[in-house]
Amino acid sequence: MPSKVPEGEQRGWIIPIGGAENKENDRHILERFVACSGGPDADIVVIPTASQLTETGPRYQKIFRSLGAREVSVMDFDTRRDCQEAGRLSRLEEATGIFFTGGNQLRLTTLLGGTPVAKLVRIRNAHGVTVGGTSAGASILSEHMIAFGDEGSSVISGSVRLAPGLGLTNRFIIDQHFRQRDRLGRLLTALAYNPFAVGIGLDEDTAAFIGPDETVEVEGSGGVTIVDAADVSFSSMDSVREGQPVCMLGLKLHVLVAGASFNLHTRLAEAGSLLPRKD
């Protein structure tokens, strides 16, 4: 469950990125992550555990340093025992921003799930520390995580498998590489299992900056698909066999781009800066 925010404090930013964010020219997403983590005072820990490529962590370390962060460390976890080391926990206590790279989200959850590190990340976010991730690192941020599923736009019983994520919030379910990999159907299927949550589908090079007031602000070159299942009046998920299509009535869908927003509490979308100017 998400950690409780102490009285008088605010939850930190939660920043899922859809993968393939621009790292060379227009690095606006990563620039804003640094800004939300403290700007010139940012102390960022990069966790590349989802990736088994040795260059992943150092690459983000170099990028965040070039964007003005004061301190950037890479902290990988190869075993669950690593997640109990006092020195690693102490370093996370110092961080103002924690960033999970892409790779395999099940590698992240099997190594970190239920460990002191996972608990500490939740606590630090509840105390105001920014936590973000890209691709697999985005999927694991919420309580309910899409582990894997089929591509396509249809809602098909059994076409998606859910697993527990880090649990920073239970407000939403993330899917990434959304439009590029045709993942609408698996996000809708996940919501058919749990209509309480809001579905957030992130295109590549696109991020949802979720602030302490639970407002989703969009950054990047693509779109964010918001699926709100709160008013679903009917679902046949409980009565169809695996592999069969599911009927869902009453879904609400928004497609947001940079400048638009969605409030997870009120469930209201706004065009924001995209509205025509009145001269």
Closest CA to 98 of 168, 40, 7, 24: 168
Catalytic residue among 21, 139, 144, 204: 204
Cβ-contact 76, 103 below 8 angstroms:
no
CA dihedral 57, 66, 22, 28 (to 10 degrees): 130
Residue 135 is a catalytic residue: yes
Catalytic residue among 144, 159, 177, 261: 177
Q: Where are the alpha helices (DSSP H) in the chain?
A: 28-36, 56-66, 86-94, 105-112, 116-126, 136-139, 184-193
Contacts 24+ apart (CB under 8 A), 258-261: 258/218, 258/219, 258/220, 258/221, 259/218, 260/218, 261/215, 261/216, 261/217, 261/218
Residue 28 is a catalytic residue: no
Catalytic residue among 3, 37, 135, 261: 135
Please state, in angstroms and rounded to a whole number, the distance separating the CA atoms of residues 276 and 264: 25
Please state, in angstroms and rounded to a whole number, the distance separating the CA atoms of residues 2 and 172: 12
Residue 235 is a catalytic residue: no
Residues recognised as catalytic:
135, 177, 204
